[in-house]
């Protein structure tokens, strides 16, 4: 089976990656590292470039896990990317990192994590970065 890991270059993303790889290693799953950018943005700080992506894949294979990076863009809702990937890979689990966000910030910007938790059709593993 496949595990989707929502990855962004932050401590939260790292935590998700670690947890996801560990999960995959114990159950013999392969991994899709989802690094999905917002369509229409000129610059997206959540993205990683090719070399950094290759490094992530290398880290997974060091743990004995087959991995690839998916860079499909998403529109207003990040679930579009995850839905499409769940569909195409038959993934059994989504791993994401949770960050602390103030109530105001969340009201203004919304929360990708919340959308995934509420709308995903497969189980979601939400992890927090080591404090």
Q: Give the residues lining the site for another protein (CB under 8 A).
A: 37-45, 47-49, 73, 75-77, 108-110
**For another protein, the closer CB: 48 or 65:** 48
Nearer to another protein, 26 or 102 (CB): 102
Which candidate, 92, 120, 77, 118, places its Cα nearest to that of 20?
92
Least distance between another protein and beta carbon 41 (Å): 4
Sheet holding 124-127, edge to edge: 67-70, 30-34, 2-6, 93-97, 124-127
CA–CA separation, 77 and 104 (whole Å): 20
C-beta of 75 vs 123, nearer to another protein: 75
Least CB distance to another protein at residue 44 (A): 4
For the CB of residue 9, give the shortest distance to another protein in the complex, in Å. 9
Number of neighbouring beta carbons within 10 Å of residue 81: 22
């Amino acid at each position: 089976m496949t595990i989707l890991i929502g990855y962004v270059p932050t401590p939260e993303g790292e935590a998700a990656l670690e947890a996801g790889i560990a999960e995959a290693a114990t159950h013999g799953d392969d991994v899709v590292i989802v690094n999905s950018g917002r369509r229409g943005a000129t610059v997206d700080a959540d993205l990683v470039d090719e070399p950094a992506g290759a490094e992530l894949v290398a880290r997974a294979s060091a743990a004995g896990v087959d991995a690839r990076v998916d860079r499909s863009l998403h529109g207003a809702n990040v679930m579009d990317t995850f839905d499409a990937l769940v569909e195409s890979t038959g993934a059994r689990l989504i791993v994401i990192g949770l960050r602390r966000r103030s109530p105001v910030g969340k009201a203004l910007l919304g929360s990708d994590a919340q959308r995934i938790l509420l709308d995903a059709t497969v189980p979601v593993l939400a992890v927090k970065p080591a404090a």
